[in-house]
Amino acid sequence: MGSPVHRVSMGDTWSRQVHPDIESERHMQSFNVEELTNILDGGAQNTALRRKVESIIHSDPELSLKDNYFMTQNERYEAAIKKKFHIQMLAQRLGWSEDSRELYYANRSLSGDLGLALQFVFQKALRSLGSEEQIAKWDPLCNKLQILATYAQTELGHGTYLQGLETEATYDAATQEFVVHSPTLTAIKWWPGDLGRSATHALVQAQLICSGAQQGMHAFIVPIRSLEDHSPLPGITVGDIGPKMDFDHSDNGFLQLDHVRVPRENMLSRFAQVLPDGTYIKLGTAKSNYLSMVVVRVDILSDEVIPLLQKACVIAIRYSVIRRQSRLRPSDPEAKVLDYQTQQQKLFPPLAKAYAFHFVANSLLEFFHRSYSSILDRDFSLLPELHALSAGMKALVSDFCIQGAELCRRACGGHGYSKLSGLPSLVTRVTASCTYEGENTVLYLQTARFLVKSYLQAQESTSQRSLPQSAAYLTAPHLARCPAQKVADFLQPELYTTAWAHVAARLIKDSVHHLQTLMQSGADRHEAWNQTTVIHLQAAKAHLYYVTVKIFTEALEKLENQPAIQQVLKRLCDLYALHGIMTNTGDFLHDGFLSGAQIDMARKAYLDLLLLIRKDAILLTDAFDFSDQCLNSALGCYDGNVYERLFQWAQKSPTNTQGNPAYEKYIRPLLQGWRSRL
C-alpha cells in the first residue's frame, strides 16, 4: 500500500500519531487498498494525478474549507467566488484546460464548494442543443469567463413538467428577433444557481411561438446583466430567492423578463431552426430538447451525488471505531460501536451502495458516450433507453444516497448533529438531489413508461425489433421458484440477480395488467395511468434495483486478476442484493418465488456478511481516498483523533472568540433584577 501521508494533511500536532483504535483496523490487510483506489480512479495514473492536484489545492490557504461552518450566507457566497477566481488563476498558470482531469480533481478536492457552477450546465446544454456555429461563438466566451452563464428552466409555478413552462419566446419576423417574456407571476424563473447575483447571461427555456403557432420548449441565450457595470439590462428583473436548506455558497435566483428582445441566432438550433421569415423547421424529435437534461443527470451522479454518500460512510465508519460504548461482555473493556451488529446494519448497506453506485455511474457514463455522438448526428434510436436509465438512476441513486447519508449521521449519535462532523451539510446537500434535475417520483414514472412500452413490445410475437438491453430480461425464460436450498446459495450472484429479474418482471407485468384492466373497463388512457402510478412506481424501482445488481456483478467479473479485491467487493455486492431482498420480502414472497424458509436463509447469509465486512470496513473507506481537507470533518479524519479535533474546532467558533452581545443587554439585567429582589 502507498504511504498514507497524503491523507493526513490538516497540520495538527496530534496528526503525527494515528489513534491506536483506527491504526489497529489497518494493521492486517486482506487486500491492497492502493489497488482498490486505483480501480475507483480508473487507473494508477489518475490516482497520482488526483493526489498531485489535491496537494496543490490544499497548500493554498486561499482555497481552505476550514471556516465554512462558521460563515454567514454572504460570506459563503463570496468565499466560493473567491475560490473560483483562484482556481481559474491556478489553471491558467499551470496550463490546465477547461475540460481537463486536473480541473475535475480540483473541484473534487474542494467538495464542489466553488462559485459559478452553472456555467458547466450552460455549456453542457450549449454543446448538446447548439449548432456548431453557436458552440464556436459562445463556448470560448464561457471558457475564458468573458461571460458568466446560468441555465434558467425552473419557474415559480413549474419545475419538472417542462411542457407546462409559461415563459414565451415569440418570433418577430420584422426585426428577426425573439421577444422573451414572463406573461404571469408563475412564469418567473426561480431557483437557477448563479442567477441571483453573478450571471451575465442565461440559457432560458421558453415556449417558442412563431408563425402564430406554439412549437414547444426551446432554449434561448438571453443577456441579463451589463458587461460594463453588472447592472440588470432593460426588461430584466433579477435577484436572489433568499435562505435555503443548504447551498449557501450558491446565489440561486429569480428572473422576470419583460418583452426582452434577443437576435434570431440566440435560439439553440441543432435540432430546430426558425428561418428569417418565421418558418419553423424541426430537425430532431420532440424529445431532443430534453437531451441537455440527460447529459447533466449522468454527470451529477458521479460528480456530486455519490461522493456525498461516500464521504458520509467514511466519516461514520471511522468514528465508529474510535467511539466506545458499553461492553459486549461484563469483563470486557468498552467496545467499539462498530463491533455492534446494529451499527453494522446501519452503516454497511450504505457502504455497499456507495460502491454499487460507483460502478453504476461508470456503466451509465459508458452507455451515454456510446449514444451521445449518434444523437448529435440525429440518430435517436438509443435516446429512449438513455433517457429512461438516466432518469431512473438519478432517482434511485439520489434516494438511496439521501437515506444512507442520514443513517450515517444518526449512527454518530450526538456528535453527528454537530456541523463540525461534516455530516449535517452532507445530508442537507444530498437532500437537494431528489429535486434538482427532475423530481424523483416523476423520473421513476418516466422510467415506468419506458418499461410499459418494452413489456408490450416483448409480448408482440410479430415484433422484429429487439428489446433495449436494460429491458432484455423481460423475454428471458421464466423461473417460477428460486432453486436455493442452503444459505450459501444466496451468495451466488447468478441466483440473486435472477431473483431480482423475476420480481422486476412480475411487477412490470402486474402494472401493465392493472393499466389495461382499467382501460378495458372504460377509463381513458390518461386516467388509467394516474390510477396505477403507485404500482408503476414500485415496478420501476424493482427494475432499477435489478439493473444496479446486474451492473455490480458484471463489474466484479472484470476483477478476476485481482482476487483479493474481487472477494471483498463481492461481499459488498452480496450485501447490496440481499439487503434489497430483506427490505422488500413481500415482493419475493408474493407469488411464491421465495419461500419463508428461503427468506430465513437469505437473512442468515446477510447477517453473516456483516461480520465479514466488519474486518475490512476501515480499509474500504480508506480506498475512497478523500483527504482530510476534502472531508472537512472533525469526526472523519484519517488519524482518528476525533475528540482533540472536535474540542479545538469548537473553541475556534466565533461564539467563543467574540464577546456575548446578549450579556449586557439582557442577561446581566435579568440576574441583577433577581438579586435586588433577594
Q: Name the phi and psi angles at 464, rounded to 5.
A: -95, -15
97, three cell numbers: 484546460
H helix or E strand, kind and range, residue 599:
helix 596-614
308, three cell numbers: 456525498
- Give the angle subtended at the CA of 67 by the CAs of 65 and 73, to the nearest 5°: 95
Q: CA neighbours within 13 Å on the CB side: how many for 593? A: 23
CA distances from 586 to 529, 577, 582, 596 (A): 24, 15, 9, 10
Hey, which residues does 210 pair with through a beta bridge? 213
Q: Would you please indicate which residues are annotated as catalytic (active-site) residues?
A: 437
DSSP 419-471: GGGSHHHHHHHHHGGGTTTS-HHHHHHHHHHHHHHHHHHHH-TT--SPPPGGG
Return the closest-CA partner of residue 204 out of 246, 160, 266, 250.
266
* Residues with Cβ within 8 Å of residue 601, at least 6 apart in sequence: 484, 486, 487, 489, 490
Asked if 34 and 622 count as a contact pair (C-beta separation under 8 A), the reply is no
Asked if 333 and 598 count as a contact pair (C-beta separation under 8 A), the reply is no
Three state DSSP letters for 346-410: HHHHHHHHHHHHHHHHHHHHHHHHHHHHHHHCCCCCCHHHHHHHHHHHHHHHHHHHHHHHHHHHH
CA distances from 278 to 30, 131, 170, 185 (A): 68, 18, 10, 28
- Give the angle subtended at the CA of 258 by the CAs of 256 and 264, to the nearest 5°: 105
Three state DSSP letters for 15-43: HHCCCHHHHHHHCCCCCCHHHHHHHHHCC
Compute CA 283 distance to the chain's CA centroid, rounded to the nearest angstrom: 32
Residue 330 DSSP label: T
- Compute the distance between CA of residue 189 and CA of residue 555 in angstroms, rounded to an integer: 42
Asked if 91 and 102 count as a contact pair (C-beta separation under 8 A), the reply is yes
Total Cβ atoms within 10 A of residue 569: 25
Residue 334 DSSP label: P
**Residues listed for the chain:** 678
> Which is it for the CA torsion 174, 180, 182, 187, positive or negative?
positive
